[in-house]
Structure 1
Amino acid sequence: MPFFRCSLAATVVATLSLAVPALAQDEEQHSTLTIGAGAAMIPSYEGSDDYRVLPIAQARGKVHDYAFWTRGTSLYVDAIPDPIGPSVNFELGPIVNVRLDRTSRKQIKDEAVQLLGKRDLAVEVGAFVGIGKTGVITSDYDNISARVAVTKDVAGAHGGYVVTPTVEYFTPLSMTTFAGLSLSADYVGKKYGRYYFDITPQESLASGLDVYDRAGRGSGFKRMSANLTAGKSLSGDLRKGWALFGLAGYSRMLGKYADSPIVSDAGSRNQFVGALGIGYTF
């Protein structure tokens, strides 16, 4: 489904569930599950200045201390079990992502970008590595983590690679409230840039946008993003039951990707996202 392609919006549910294992550590809960659903305002395509309001759904949990979580259309599985209590946590495991950007003309509001034609579905497979620390600043339950994910398309769509470094911090403000901040970037290969941001002479003739070939000449940083999240338990305890969540996010398209007419003429370098929803922790 096209709405799952926006990882910015879906980050809020994953961040909500981050609070669950940390707060549950004093009870030594070795298995947990948080699911969430809501609505998000997202760009109609990466680099667009038009927005759509669409549903989102995400999940995070752990089974016998082995964590998993979804982030947008990505699934992460941590092959290193989480420790109990305030400690350092190492992460390493596989990641699979399905990229649906511009796979349907119906999701694109800009007529010129529609005329460029749709893109094929990309299936990106790879791995991630990271490190986190629970019990950092505000309490035994706040958490800071950093990870790098590397994936490559194996479905024959863009055929390139994506490297995503991420830094996240969250803190419970009480047993019922939490807040979080995440910073990330996307570094992509030349095949990715060529597929999504270059414009061939034939595509230029069809769409009216200028010919562009700089994005496919080499790799580079495509985008930087920042997200603020917050959540409020409806059951009186973030470790279980229902909770409301919200997100406000901003990202900036960078360099030769921002200079593509798909962004500079038909869209915008500045990208915004907002989301509201509800989650349940078992």
Structure 2
Amino acid sequence: MNQLTRILLLTLPFMAAAPALAQEAEDHSSLTIGVGVASVPSYEGSDDSRLIVGPQLRGKVKDHAFFTRGPMLFFDAIPNRDDSGIDFQAGPVVGVRLDRTSRKQIKDSAVEALGKRDTAIEVGGYVGIGKTGIITSAYDNLSARVAVTKDVAGAHESYIVTPAIEYFTPLSIRSFAGIGLSADYVGKKFGRYYFDVDPAGALASGLPVYTRGGSGSGFRRVNANLTGGYSLSGDIRKGWVIVGAVGYSRMLGRYADSPVVAIAGSKNQFLAALGVGYTF
């Protein structure tokens, strides 16, 4: 997985999620593949944007769902066979974090001078619950989950806890809309690795020395996104769909105060994306 793909996965979780909802309610296998273009921050905390292109997918096989959220791949080990529309979820999670692993992706010269970061491989699990047919129709879906992962590749060597809640609803047989809210809670080694500036880094970059990023664990950011889509095939359960999204993230606390964010970047992070997906 290259850097462009990784960043797009951060911005296009909607590419396969919403069109597949109605099919999953019918309890049979499906696969949605998407590709799109997005405007995203050049690194976490940056005030510069880049245009990127990349893929996304979601599927369900024999009542077991798998899907991507951000750079993470989730697999639901609990089969969804409840006719009441309640879906208990639990299973493994694996992902790749490539933030600042290539100087070519960083537009700010000061942050570039701090040097590259190693690739983190984050492995763990999640639990959650979803309910289909809850507010607007028999096919809308509200879900909540908590994922816990840890870097096993020796990069930041820390853990990440991500609570999230999502709501998707069909507006008609041809269109849908969704909203998602999430947050990221990280260990002190994560903050030290990505947000601290040591004396050597300060000398190279011109940024001040900063050590509070790794002074403890805490919430790193909160995220919100709005999505919408329209079927080009006449039915969001199958065929082609065009999807758009806008998102906002807010860096928090000691992470927002880091010179990487407060001086070289911004605590306010924006994204916009447009893509097309196909459901089989």
Q: TM-score over 0.5 for the alignment? A: yes
Residue 273 of structure 2 corresponds to residue 271 of structure 1: no
- When residues 77 and 238 of structure 1 are mapped into structure 2, their CA distance, relative to the original with a 3 A threshold, is same
How far is the alpha carbon of 1:275 from its aligned partner? 0.4
User: Which of 251, 254, 266 is equivalent to 1:253?
Assistant: 251
Q: Look up the equivalent residue of 2:148 and give its one-letter code.
A: V
Deviation string, structure 1 residues 135-154 (Cα, Å, up to 9, x no partner): 01110000000000000000
How far is the alpha carbon of 1:29 from its aligned partner? 4.4
Residue 204 of structure 2 corresponds to residue 206 of structure 1: yes
Q: Look up the equivalent residue of 1:113 and give its one-letter code.
A: V
Q: Structure 2 unaligned runs (5+)? A: none
SS in structure 2 of the partner of residue 59 of structure 1: strand
Q: Look up the equivalent residue of 1:197 and give its one-letter code.
A: F
Q: Look up the equivalent residue of 2:122 and give its one-letter code.
A: E
Report the counterpart of residue 10 of structure 1 in structure 2: 12
Q: Please say if residues 35 and 279 of structure 1, whose CA atoms lie closer than 8 Å, have aligned partners that are also in contact.
A: yes
Of 106-115 and 85-94, the range deviating more from structure 2: 85-94
How far is the alpha carbon of 1:73 from its aligned partner? 2.2
Could you tell me the TM-score, scaled by structure 2's length? 0.97
Q: Look up the equivalent residue of 2:92 and give its one-letter code.
A: P
Q: Please say if residues 97 and 125 of structure 1, whose CA atoms lie closer than 8 Å, have aligned partners that are also in contact.
A: yes
Cα distance in 2 between the residues matched to 1:71 and 1:166? 10
Could you tell me the TM-score, scaled by structure 1's length? 0.96
Residue 119 of structure 2 corresponds to residue 121 of structure 1: yes
Report the counterpart of residue 108 of structure 1 in structure 2: 106
How far is the alpha carbon of 1:84 from its aligned partner? 5.6
Of 2-11 and 186-195, the range deviating more from structure 2: 2-11
Q: How does 1:1-282 map to 2 (within 5 A)?
A: 1-6=2-7, 7-16=9-18, 19-20=19-20, 22-24=21-23, 28-83=26-81, 85-282=83-280
Q: Please say if residues 8 and 249 of structure 1, whose CA atoms lie closer than 8 Å, have aligned partners that are also in contact.
A: no
Q: Please say if residues 138 and 171 of structure 1, whose CA atoms lie closer than 8 Å, have aligned partners that are also in contact.
A: yes
Q: Look up the equivalent residue of 1:128 and give its one-letter code.
A: Y
Which 4+ runs in 1 deviate beyond 6 A?
A: none
SS in structure 1 of the partner of residue 67 of structure 2: strand
Q: Look up the equivalent residue of 2:15 and give its one-letter code.
A: V
- When residues 86 and 135 of structure 1 are mapped into structure 2, their CA distance, relative to the original with a 3 A threshold, is farther
Cα distance in 2 between the residues matched to 1:219 and 1:241? 45
SS in structure 2 of the partner of residue 58 of structure 1: strand
What is the CA RMSD across the aligned residues, in angstroms? 1.2
Of 85-94 and 106-115, the range deviating more from structure 2: 85-94
Cα distance in 1 between the residues matched to 2:24 and 2:73? 23
SS in structure 2 of the partner of residue 258 of structure 1: helix
Cα distance in 1 between the residues matched to 2:271 and 2:199? 33
Q: Please say if residues 181 and 228 of structure 1, whose CA atoms lie closer than 8 Å, have aligned partners that are also in contact.
A: yes
**Matched positions, count:** 278
SS in structure 2 of the partner of residue 62 of structure 1: strand
Cα distance in 2 between the residues matched to 1:232 and 1:86? 28
Cα distance in 2 between the residues matched to 1:34 and 1:85? 23
SS in structure 2 of the partner of residue 192 of structure 1: helix
Q: Please say if residues 159 and 191 of structure 1, whose CA atoms lie closer than 8 Å, have aligned partners that are also in contact.
A: yes
